[in-house]
């Protein structure tokens, strides 16, 4: 179900602006020093506004947040700054370390783990004909160090490439809990917010 949020343009809090300014500098340096295929930052200011609207409107069923493909971890940190219990999953180990350092330097409580957000045993169909597809689909699954699965999170954020949008939505529909919210950045300043309705079709075994 599509959610049409009213995201008024408001000045960012000083601490958020300082955080984003530093994040932008570090991302720029990182991209100069090392090229990571598929890593493109989203619009952090607009994403903050969407998360703020979700928080202010009391739209989330709980405070568990996960960033799928967390990159530098900026969105997960922005969620933590709004009192979400925030987590990020990233396949590139260098980005995980950079995200952990950024969060630590600003004393933002976020858990970042190295791995794939695609649950083990999940079959996904990717269309890589145009060369944009970067999702890792081999059997990795959610890292054991994160004792949470997709059905535990109340809000999930992802920035899919155009040919990955249907995969992200399919994974969300299959594995997220009923009432969970999916926020996706679509590029060109566009964010889509959806809520899952109906039952969770497949739940992981609890440890």
Confidence band of 129 (pLDDT split at 50, 70, 90) = very low
> Lowest-confidence range among 27-31, 80-84, 124-128, 198-202?
124-128
pTM, whole model, 2 decimals? 0.85
In this predicted structure, the answer to whether residue 38 has a pLDDT above a threshold of 70 is no
Rounded CA separation 153/124 (Å): 21
What integer pLDDT is reported at residue 205 of this predicted model?
37
> Which domains are delineated in the chain?
42-195 (3.40.50.150)
Q: What percent of the chain is predicted at pLDDT more than 90?
A: 57
Can you say whether the dihedral through the CA atoms of 114, 117, 123, 128 is positive or negative?
negative
Residues 6+ apart with CB under 8 A from 207: 147
What integer pLDDT is reported at residue 116 of this predicted model?
86
Rounded CA separation 68/80 (Å): 15
- Cβ atoms of 158 and 194 closer than 8 Å: no
Residues 6+ apart with CB under 8 A from 11: none
Rounded CA separation 134/81 (Å): 29
């Amino acid at each position: 179900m599509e959610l049409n949020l009213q995201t008024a343009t408001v000045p960012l809090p000083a601490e958020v602006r300082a955080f984003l300014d530093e994040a932008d500098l570090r991302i720029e340096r990182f991209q100069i020093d090392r090229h990571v295929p598929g890593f493109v930052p989203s619009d952090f200011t607009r994403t903050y506004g969407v998360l703020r609207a979700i928080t202010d409107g009391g739209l989330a069923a709980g405070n568990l947040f996960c960033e799928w493909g967390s990159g530098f971890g900026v969105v997960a940190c922005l969620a933590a700054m709004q009192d979400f219990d925030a987590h990020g999953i990233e396949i590139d180990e260098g980005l995980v370390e950079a995200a952990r350092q950024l969060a630590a330097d600003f004393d933002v409580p976020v858990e970042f783990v190295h791995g794939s957000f695609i649950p083990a045993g999940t079959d996904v169909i990717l269309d890589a004909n145009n060369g944009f597809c970067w999702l890792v689909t081999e059997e990795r699954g959610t890292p054991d160090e994160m004792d949470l699965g997709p059905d535990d999170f109340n809000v999930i954020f992802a920035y899919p490439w155009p040919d990955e949008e249907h995969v992200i939505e399919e994974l969300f529909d299959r594995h997220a809990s009923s009432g969970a919210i999916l926020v996706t950045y679509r590029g060109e300043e566009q964010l889509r917010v959806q809520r899952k309705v109906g039952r969770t079709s497949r739940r992981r075994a609890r440890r």
